[in-house]
Each structure stands twice: as structure tokens, then as C-alpha cells.
Structure 1
Amino acid sequence: MKWRTYPEDVLPLWVAEMDVPLAGPVVRAVTDALRLGDTGYPAGTAYAQALAAFAGKRWGWSGLAVERTAIVPDVMLGVVEMIKLVTGPGDPVVVNPPVYPPFFMFVEHMDRRVAEAPLGADGRLDFGVLEETFRKAVAGGRRAAYLLCNPHNPTGTVHTAEELSAVAGLAERYGVRVVADEIHAPLVLGDAGFVPYLSVPGAERGLSLMSASKGWNLPGLKAALAIAGPGAAADLDRLPEEVGHGPSHVAVIAHTAALRDGLAWLDALLAGLDTNRWLLADLLAEHLPAIRYRPGDATYLAWLDCRALGLGDDPADVFLERGRVALSSGLPFGTGGAGHARLNLATSKEVLARPCAEWRRRCAECGRTLVHCPPWTTGRWTNSARESTC
């Protein structure tokens, strides 16, 4: 999808796919399965056992109980099923915009109502807003759920243990059920530490969705795990049997191998992503200082505040048409998305720097620097001629 959606002259830095060679253990596990003809239906708990072992090594969390897990087709379909277990039609689901656009689409498609509790100006949870949203959500005795993005997409914010404990306290006080999308959990960079929602005090009635999909670039191999806290085991037991028919057996094999044997590969990936986030910060500071970018502590996504460029609510559209670079528009991310764009930095340093190199060359034609003459602001772009003039 990443490289085929746009014409060949567009540099795609949008959808969440990484430009990486796959981890050797994953390739071997899938190849061995195919050689054996092992392409039937999934069964067993190997995936959950691998995730539990990974959680213990990586996050120091020993509370992932294999018996309180279920295989689901992918994280978002798992989110849908978890929300169905704890809410009914018309009930509100609280989200923290700007946030992953499918949160809105999937919630509304299942006949639930989105209730926004926007992030604060610092990109972190605003607990005053969150509490007020919870209070309104349950008014009149309605059931409500809170769809928590941990780590947060698109900002890369990693919620702290203190913040998650505060979430659990509010959720218990108001009777809101927490469903945590933790698909980016393996992708925490630098010294930041990931805290599983179900590991904090008070989160016993929570539900979580995890997967190796984002960490090891396996989105085309569909499989994820739903995990219940001790107080939500009965809810997970009500998951319809047919939900477990959706995951791919080969995907389960791949995800299991990644979690069990792919840690060295993951460490190398994280080092490269850490380098890229600071490279992007340097490139923007040098060439487009009007764009505000705060490197996140997780994910391989960069949330760019482009409002100072004066490109309107959808700068990604301008970048695509005039710069031939595809980013994700900020508008579908909800409140706080206007004037923003999301960039995928999980690529080579050469690809990441290519737009700046191209813009620098074109602006050199008129003798002005990129800072004064980016093609999408003061310059004029002609697609057929592939040049800009001031």
C-alpha cells in the first residue's frame, strides 16, 4: 500500500509500514511452515506465551496471564470486539484526539458514539477534560468505554505509570471500561519505558490489545491478542467463538517467532528509528524551521505542526500536490489535527533526507536558499516541468 497508492513520482512517507528487511527468525519460521505445508487453522497458546515472556523481559511485567488471552484477527478488530463486550449500541466511547483515525471510523461503524477528550497543549492526557468527559459519558446510567492509545498515535507520547494509574482511578470512579490499544508498545525509543495499562493498580477490569504487527513490520500477516485484567476475565470469556476464526495461522507463527526470537532485530530497529527522529528534527530545523516537531518517545511517526506555514487546514494536500511527498493528513485525527500532518520516518536516512535534497537543488536554480524559497510557499511548482521558480 505504501509504495503503490501514489504515482511513481511521489515519495510516500505516510501509512504505517516500515522500509526494512524482515527479521531473520520471522522469515525462517514462515518458510519452515510453508515447507511443511503447515497452512491450516490457528490453535494453541504459543503466541500468548511468547508475548508473556517478551513482556517479562522487556517491560518487567509478569501479570500477562495466558489463560486470560484470546487470538483476534488484528488490533482494531479486537478493539471492536472488546468494546462490544462492555458497551451497547448508542453508548459513548471516549478517545483522545488527535488520535489514530480508525478509532473514529470503527467506533461509529459499530453504532457507538465518539466522545472526545482532547490531549492537552503538551500532547499529554488532560485529566480535567478526561474526568468531565467520563462524567458526561455515563450520565443517565449509560455504559461507556475509554479507548486508550498507549503509546499514543500520532504524537508518540508514552504514558507514565502515574498517568495510567490516574486513568484507572477515574475509570473505576465513573464505571468506564478501559480498552487499551497497545500495538506500538514494542516501539519505545531512547530511555522512555513502556508501561502496560493492565500493570497499574486499579486496572483490573481493563482490556488490552497487543500485537507484533507494528514492531516487526507484519501488518499483512494478521494476528493480535486480546488480554483481560483479572476483573475482565468473564468479559473475555463471552467473546464469540467465530472471532477466533479470523486470524491467520501463518501470521500467528510469524508473530510468535518475532516476540520469541526477534529481540536483537528489534533493538537494531529501535536504534535506527532513534537516529531518524533526531535526523528529522535537524532537517526541519535547518530547512523548514516554521514546522514545529517534538520528537516522540515511541512509534515511528512524526506529528508535524505546520500551522505557521499558512497552508490551511490540510498542509499534507499541499505537500503532495506541490512537493510530490505523501504525508498523512491531520484532519482525520480529530480535534487538534487541522494544520498538522503525520510523517512516517521508518525508512532509510537517504529517503528521509531526499525531499530536502530535492528542494535545495530546485531552489538553487534561482539562487535562493530553501529556508526562503520552499516550493509550496513562495515558489511556484510546475508538475510537468518538475521545477520551481520564484
Structure 2
Amino acid sequence: MTRNPHETSGEPNPLRALDLETLRRRTSMKWRTHPEDVLPLWVAEMDVPLAEPVVRAVTEAMELGDTGYPAGTAYAEALAAFAAKRWDWGGLAVERTAIVPDVMLGVVEMLKLVTGYGDPVVVNPPVYPPFHDFVRNLDRRVVEAPLGGDARIDLDVLEDTFRRITAGRGRAAYLLCSPHNPTGTVHTAEELTAVAALAERYGVRVVADEIHAPLVVGDARFVPYLSVQGGERGLSLMSASKGWNLAGLKAALAVAGPEAAGDLARMPEEVGHGPSHVGILAHTAALRDGTAWLDALLAGLEANRGLLAALLAERLPGIRYRPGDATYLAWLDCRALGLGDDPAQAFLEHGRVALNSGLPFGSGGAGHARLNLAASPEVLEEAVRRTAAAVERAGGVRG
């Protein structure tokens, strides 16, 4: 099993590098959606400086005026090398990849290939809200197969769902979130193999969003869906975006299993014109040369998980938090606080802390909030202090 060598990265913790005054100079969504008195721990942007290899790659491109259209397979080659070293997976074939603008737009293109108008697409709520939004905007039908109480895929529920939606022998797809957002669940090889067997039995095509794959901590192991037995007909979307904080540098890769190569080949050529060439350069540099920075980040995130759990236990024991093994997101069960279906609204109004409301995450989201813990320990401490004060002001129950 591959482990993340945090202690040997030699890089400083990037989560401790920037102060709030510097961060508030940023003009991205995280820092411009709310007034300046609000502490933003919501949208998936990290409070980190970029990895030096990424800065160097983008700077050199600017100096050269290298801002044209993307070309070549360097991104796919870098991802294949990263996958082989990091996940012990040598099956990422460069010839079965295609560049796409970003992961969710890539998901849309993959669903176009394997489903048609009105076809069902299964999701596991609570799950990343764009899973619902993009599927509906594509004129497909969202079908929920909720996670179990342990925040893992409920295989019985999934099979019942597959059986029901394929009874008329129409086409169907399963949009798998791996690792899972917002719970941070890392699906095991056994679970994914079982998913693949169910998909094969019922003729359901699997499209896997694996954008959080680089962000697995400790002894947990990310297993690519395409690497498991039965995953040969699957399609995956991968990116360096989340691992290295590159959301503003658009680029992702669609990856096909051996038996899905023909599907990927049908993707329109113009889709590959959408990614940013500079973004591809940045993502390639991150995967190829940014692993020491990533390891330092993972060590910082692991420490922040422990810190958040301790702070909540002390200040807000009414919040149930089960630290996940991946992502930099914390899924907070706030139902015992007595703040209703949308506790994030109370935290914002009474504590000036911005978290994501759980409601858009689908079934199981009511009474929950998602917190972005990719911040400094000091910011996390202040966020919990404000949240505890907000509960008191709103008349809730701390514990």
C-alpha cells in the first residue's frame, strides 16, 4: 500500500504561509462573495501559496508569450506517471485520454456519450451539488441512491436503484464521486469492485469524478475506479485542480477504461479546445514536480482534521463530525443544535462564518453544513469560536 510520506517532504506547511490580510487581497469567489467581516470557509479554494514548480511553469509561459492553444499529451503522461507512483496503478493509458475544460464539463461530455435525453443518472447523496445541477441541465433525470449511515456506498440500495431504473431496458449511468465530496469517504477496492459488478449486471455505465484523488491522507489508499476488476467499461475524470489549488487554471483529463475507448473516441474534437493551455502547463508541472508540496499540504490537512475534531468536542459537542480520509472538506452534522434545516445560515448571520449549506447536497443534507478546513490553524480556531457564539445568539444548543 502506498503511503503519503509527509515527514520526508522537506516542504513547509503551505496552510501556515499566508495571513488573512494577504488572503483578503484575492479576488476569487471565496474572498469576494461575502463582506470582509465574514470568515470564508465554504467554497473549495485553499488558503495556500502555489507550489513553486507551478509558479515557475506559468511564469515561463508568460515570459515566452506561450498562451496559445493546447497541444500534445504531456498532461496525460504526467498523470500516468503520478498514478503509477502514487496509486500503484500502471493502467492509465495515454492513448485513452482526452483533455476537457474541467471535471464537471468533462462529466457532461461523458454522460452525453453513454446516455440520452431523459435517461436516469444515479448519484449518492449527500453529494457535490453540481452533480444534481449539471445532470438536470443536461436533460437527464437525477436518481438518488443515498449513502448509508456510515457515509459509505450502500450496495443494497445501489442495486435496488439499478434494478428499478433499468427495468425498461433503457440506458442509464452512475455518477460516482471518488473520493466522496462532502464526506471525504475513500471507497475501497472491494466496494468499487462490487459497484463494477452491479453496473455490469444491470448495464449501467459508470462515470467517476476522481478530482479529489490526490488528497488522501494517512494510511488510506485511493483506488482508481478503472483499476478494479469490471471497471474496464468505465470513464473517469481527473485533474490536478483540487490537489494543487488550480481551479482558476482550467484543465482536466477524461480517461477511458479499455472497453470504453470507443466511447471516448466519439467525443467531439471541439471539446478539447476548451481547456486553458496555461492551465495544462500548470497541472502538468504540479503532477510532475509538485509532489513534495502536496505531501506537506497533506500533513497540514491531517493536522487540521485533528484540530477541528478537538475544537468541536470542546466548544460545540452538539456537532457530529467524522473526519474523512480525503478532501479538505468537513461534513458537519448540526441537527442536534436546534438550528433547523440550514444551520449554515445561522452561522453566517450570527457568527459571520460562511460555510456551505447542506441542503443543496441532496437527501441527507438537511441540518448539515460543509466546512473547508484548508486554512491555517488560527483561522479554524477563530471559525469555531465564532460558530459557538453564533449558536448561543441563535438560541441553539451547544451540546
What's the TM-score bracket when you normalise by the shorter of the two chains?
A: over 0.9
Give the drift of 1:357: 4.2
CA distance in 1, matches of 2:274, 2:81: 24
CA distance in 2, matches of 1:192, 1:213: 21
Gaps of 5+ in 2: 1-28
Aligned partner of 1:74 in structure 2 is 102
Secondary structure (helix, strand or coil) at the match of 1:50 reads: helix
Residue 139 of structure 2 corresponds to residue 111 of structure 1: yes
Secondary structure (helix, strand or coil) at the match of 1:204 reads: helix
Aligned partner of 1:375 in structure 2 is 393
Aligned partner of 1:255 in structure 2 is 283
Q: Identical aligned pairs, as a percentage?
A: 80
What do residues 246-297 of structure 1 show as CA deviations (whole Å, max 9, x unaligned)? Answer: 0000000000000000000000000000000110000000000000000000
Aligned partner of 2:364 in structure 1 is 336
Residue 41 of structure 2 corresponds to residue 13 of structure 1: yes
1:228 maps to a residue whose letter is A
CA distance in 1, matches of 2:179, 2:371: 17
- What value does the CA root-mean-square deviation take over the aligned residues? 1.2
Query: Which of these residues, 107, 112, 116, is aligned with residue 84 of structure 1?
Result: 112
Aligned partner of 2:184 in structure 1 is 156
- Checking the alignment, whether the CA contact within 8 Å between 1:322 and 1:376 is kept in structure 2 is yes
CA distance in 2, matches of 1:53, 1:359: 43
Counterparts of residues 93-172 of structure 1 (less than 5 Å): 93-172=121-200
Secondary structure (helix, strand or coil) at the match of 1:164 reads: helix
CA distance in 1, matches of 2:230, 2:396: 54
Relative to the length of structure 2, the TM-score reads 0.91
Larger Rg: 1
CA distance in 1, matches of 2:294, 2:53: 11
What do residues 231-259 of structure 1 show as CA deviations (whole Å, max 9, x unaligned)? Answer: 00000000001100100000000000000
Counterparts of residues 193-272 of structure 1 (less than 5 Å): 193-272=221-300
1:251 maps to a residue whose letter is G
Segment of structure 1 superposing worse, 250-259 or 350-359: 350-359
Q: Greater helix share, 1 or 2?
A: 2
1:128 maps to a residue whose letter is D
Relative to the length of structure 1, the TM-score reads 0.93
Q: Taking CA–CA contacts closer than 8 Å with sequence separation of 6 or more, which of the two structures ends up with the larger relative contact order?
A: 2
Q: After the TM superposition, list the runs of 4 or more consecutive aligned residues in structure 1 that deviate by more than 4 angstroms.
A: 357-360
Aligned partner of 1:298 in structure 2 is 326
What do residues 73-132 of structure 1 show as CA deviations (whole Å, max 9, x unaligned)? Answer: 000000000000000000000000000000000000000000100000010000110001
Aligned partner of 1:367 in structure 2 is none
CA distance in 1, matches of 2:162, 2:148: 16
Query: Which of these residues, 80, 83, 91, is aligned with residue 63 of structure 1?
Result: 91
CA distance in 1, matches of 2:77, 2:46: 26
Aligned partner of 1:348 in structure 2 is 376
Give the drift of 1:61: 0.1
- Checking the alignment, whether the CA contact within 8 Å between 1:359 and 1:375 is kept in structure 2 is no
CA distance in 2, matches of 1:344, 1:237: 37
CA distance in 2, matches of 1:251, 1:375: 44
CA distance in 2, matches of 1:186, 1:32: 25
What do residues 203-222 of structure 1 show as CA deviations (whole Å, max 9, x unaligned)? Answer: 00000000000000000000
Give the drift of 1:377: 2.6
- Checking the alignment, whether the CA contact within 8 Å between 2:30 and 2:45 is kept in structure 1 is yes
